[in-house]
Amino acid sequence: MHRWNPLSWQNFPARQQPDWPDRDKLSRILEILGQRLPLVFTGEVDILREKISQAARGRMFLLQGGDCAERFSPRLDQIESLLRVLLQMNMVLMYAAAKPVIKVGRFAGQFAKPRSQATETINGEELPNYFGDIVNRPEGTIKSRTPNPKNLLDAYNFSASILNIVRGLSKGGFADLQQVHSWNEAFILDSPQGQQFAEIADGISKALAFMQACGVNSREETATTDFYTSHEALVLDYESALTRLDPQSGRYYDLSAHMLWLGDRTRQPDGAHVEFLRGIRNPVGIKSGPSMSPDDLCRLIDTVNPSNEAGRITLITRFGAPNIAKHLPGLIRTIKTHGYDVLWSCDPMHGNTSTTAGGYKTRDFALVVSELRDFLQIHKSEGTIAGGVHLELTGDNVTECTGGAEGLAASDLATNYQTACDPRLNARQALELAFLIAKEIV
């Protein structure tokens, strides 16, 4: 195979790339980005890869979740509530399954969105579509929609400040297990899931007190936690500018995040995204929708992970509730036949999107649950490991997905619809889902 370098993707067809109008400005920005400090460290990336290899063997579980599209207007309370719901889900899963959970956020860099249509017509004017804040802005004017390379630098800066908050909260007492009772937000407390969670929190407090009474000094282990970061590797100018050679190993790492994923729209085996991802050491997620054929999957894995290294590939399936039973068993058998080492994760969000009569993009919680249940069930009957989930969720009390225990109707969506792109589970729905998974993965 031809030699790889951080820019060799430029020799391949690249879908979904911004049409930057000012190429000189782009070059200047990329030069600056190329000299910026890394956002994550090679050692952390290696640890995550090792943990993912454990999850593929059923010894850990991958919980990947966060925003569909982060905005350049992060708020501390929103980051806190997102981490809080991820910590709660982590606890529910860990408590039920008695295995460690790897927490990977869709945050600190999830600024780019692939779109089915390159343009949309607003008030009779054809405008470029919104591709995420790293490219343009959602407001429907030509000025907002024109890609601006300065956004690449802002994406780096916002990623750095969000990551700083995440690292601070992870180590500074926020994630302390002794605080487990305080993780329930007021609006969760009065829900059935909130009460169920309070029972788990009681159990954890008792277990901690017992360990202390036994003289097991576990303070350090229980007072802090680790969150990893991830985003879709979509805008290749940005990803390659943050790719660095590790002098010790002589290998390249994309240090914009710990884990990157390949979107369902950009996974052409001979395309630029696959070319870029094959050369980096980070764990790579591969989104697989209904159009993924067994042959494509083999070509992809042979290209991205030719040595079949454990922990490198997470297959994130997103077929949609009505389609999963038709597609997943065939892919599982292909992987088994070839002996590929992959972690199977389920994204029950992206195949289940619909639009209400009122024009809101939504997902019905019942479909999300149905796809996830089928995923767990199919792996059980195939004798393979269902080792992770990939979710779009928020810690806030939004009304974006219908259904769930609180019974959100399509007519409720207008109450608090906030997302810049796809509908996210709110904290109650996310916790409800965690209890459901916990029941099935023990």
User: What is the binding site for ligand PEP (CB under 6 A)?
Assistant: 68, 114, 232, 263-265, 287, 318, 350
Q: CB 142 → ligand PEP: shortest distance, Å?
A: 25
* Interface characters, 46-85, with Co ion (x: CB under 5 A): ----------------------x-----------------
Q: Which does 185 bind (CB under 5 to 8 A by kind): Co ion, ligand PEP, none?
A: none
User: What is the per-residue DSSP string for 257-326?
Assistant: -SEEEE-TTS--TTSHHHHHHHTB-S-EEEEE-TT--HHHHHHHHHHH-TT--TTSEEEEE---TTTHHH
Question: What SS3 class is residue 247?
Answer: coil
Q: CB 395 → Co ion: shortest distance, Å?
A: 17
Name the phi and psi angles at 150, rounded to 5. Answer: -60, -25
Q: Which does 263 bind (CB under 5 to 8 A by kind): ligand PEP, Co ion, none?
A: ligand PEP
* Interface characters, 414-433, with Co ion (x: CB under 5 A): --------x-----------
Q: CB 116 → ligand PEP: shortest distance, Å?
A: 9
Closest CA to 323 of 378, 403, 392: 378
> What separation, in Å, do the N-terminal and C-terminal C-alpha atoms of the chain show?
43
Q: How many residues bind Co ion (CB under 5 A)?
A: 2
Q: Which does 318 bind (CB under 5 to 8 A by kind): Co ion, ligand PEP, none?
A: ligand PEP
Q: Which does 264 bind (CB under 5 to 8 A by kind): ligand PEP, Co ion, none?
A: ligand PEP
**Nearer to ligand PEP among residue 287 and residue 428 (C-beta):** 287
User: What is the per-residue DSSP string for 358-414?
Assistant: TS-EEEBHHHHHHHHHHHHHHHHHHT--EEEEEEEB-SS----SBBTTTTB-GGGGG
Q: CB 106 → ligand PEP: shortest distance, Å?
A: 7
Under 8 Å between Cβ of 140 and 123? yes
Under 8 Å between Cβ of 301 and 333? no
Q: CB 424 → Co ion: shortest distance, Å?
A: 9
Q: CB 99 → ligand PEP: shortest distance, Å?
A: 25
Under 8 Å between Cβ of 353 and 303? no
> 392 - beta bridge partners?
66
**Nearer to ligand PEP among residue 243 and residue 345 (C-beta):** 345
Rounded Cα–Cα distance for residues 66 and 393 (Å): 5
Q: CB 417 → ligand PEP: shortest distance, Å?
A: 17
**Nearer to ligand PEP among residue 311 and residue 320 (C-beta):** 320
**Nearer to ligand PEP among residue 20 and residue 111 (C-beta):** 111
Q: Which does 145 bind (CB under 5 to 8 A by kind): Co ion, ligand PEP, none?
A: none
Number of other residues whose CB lies within 10 A of the CB of residue 170? 17
The H or E element containing residue 56 is helix 42-56
Contact set with Co ion (CB under 5 A): 68, 422
